[in-house]
Chains A and B, each alone.
Chain A
Amino acid sequence: MIFKLFAAFFKIGMFMFGGGSAIIPLLQAELVERKKWLSEKEIMDYYSIGQCTPGIIAVNVSTFTGYKLGGIRGSVAATLGIIMPSLIIITLIASLINLFLDNQYVIHAFTGIRVAVAALIADVVLSMGRKNIKDEYQFAIFVVVAALMLTLSLSPVWVICGAGALGLILRRGKTA
């Protein structure tokens, strides 16, 4: 089981492109339909928990699934499986890219790519904002943090701790 878990998540890591939610269709195809290890509802549970626990969502979901299917050893196997393709492929790309960085065409291409990435980041802010900022309280936090960052450029760790503490104090007893 331990090796099977590693292999299944290696395959998922190999074929997933993008952020956390990109793992869902792959989990469904591989673990629910093909291997019948899990039900669809279990996957949604792991996904919602994976979103609330610290760290990369796809890694959290993998660790969680691995734990359910094979205990602590299973969770380590699934996690190693999901990160292994990244380690191999990124290391290869990163070492190859250094060879081409002086090339004129590569320089032009990367200038264009950076513009596209800037636009992608702008859109992430917009779509995440629309999903997660639902009332005046959350909007106020968004504005205050943005203003503080632009004037003081605080460390992200302090911002997360500060916002969390504020939530615990101001929203005591309320339901989200």
Chain B
Amino acid sequence: MIWWLLFFEFFKIGLFALGGGLVTIPFLFDLSAKYGWFSSQELFDMIAISESSPGPIGVNMATYVGFKTLGILGGIVATAGLVLPSVIIVIIVAKVLEKYRQSNTFENLMYSIHPAAIAMILYAGIELGKMVLISPMLIGIGIIFWGAIHFIKLHPIVYIVLGGIIGVILKL
């Protein structure tokens, strides 16, 4: 039963997560609260590892969550669930391409969904931040990190590795 549930939950994410891999964060946060397959702390580690390993972030996170929940086969089941809606929908869209792209209704749909998706990432970020930024020192480091990310704009891997190094040096 849990196999089917894992597949179904990721099928739902594949169907409703519009945008990049990071749009899956609010969905994964919801999964952790609903089923307790993994903790919110673990979600952070999954995001960090998914951003620093090769492959699309969303696929990496699905594999990771699936693996955490049910081992190697779990990783395969979750990933299959995530990509199946894409494969079906993209094939259909490819067939009716021109008509679909110029549809005004479709544009309006996306016009309204994008800000909602961003608000959900904000919410998940705030909830996750509450668990991690638990001392004035950690908040301070977080703000410095954000400034560096925003103004210097290096690849996320750089900041993740730096976070690890700072953690060890300062014994966070």
Contact = CB atoms under 8 A, between A and B. Distances in A.
Interface of A: 13-23, 49-60, 63-64, 67-68, 72, 75-76, 79, 82-83, 85-87, 89-91, 93-95, 97, 105, 108-126, 128-129, 132-133, 138-139, 141-146, 149-150, 153, 155-157, 159-164, 166-168, 170-176
A76 B88 CA distance: 10
Contacts of B91: 63, 67, 72, 75
Contacts of B72: 91
A93 B159 contact: no
Interface of B: 12, 14-22, 24-27, 30, 33, 41, 44-45, 47-60, 63-64, 67-68, 72, 75-76, 79, 82-83, 85-87, 89-91, 93-94, 97, 101, 104-126, 128-129, 132-133, 138, 141-143, 145-146, 149-150, 155-157, 159-160, 162-168, 170-172
11 contacts: A18-B57, A53-B90, A53-B93, A59-B82, A67-B94, A85-B54, A95-B67, A110-B45, A114-B45, A119-B142, A138-B114
A31 B164 CA distance: 36
B172 A111 contact: yes
Nearest to A121: B125
Contacts of B156: 18, 120
A167 B109 CA distance: 5
Contacts of A156: 16-17, 26-27, 30, 120
A118 B16 contact: no
A53 B20 CA distance: 11
Contacts, number: 365
A97 B49 contact: yes
A90 B47 CA distance: 12
B123 A54 contact: no
A126 B170 CA distance: 29
Contacts of A57: 19-21, 56
A121 B124 contact: yes
A90 B50 contact: yes
A167 B90 contact: no
A175 B104 CA distance: 6
Which are the 9 A-B pairs with shortest beta-carbon distances?
A112-B167, A167-B112, A116-B163, A55-B86, A86-B55, A163-B116, A145-B119, A149-B123, A119-B145
A94 B97 CA distance: 39
Contacts of A115: 132-133, 138, 141-142, 145, 163, 167, 172
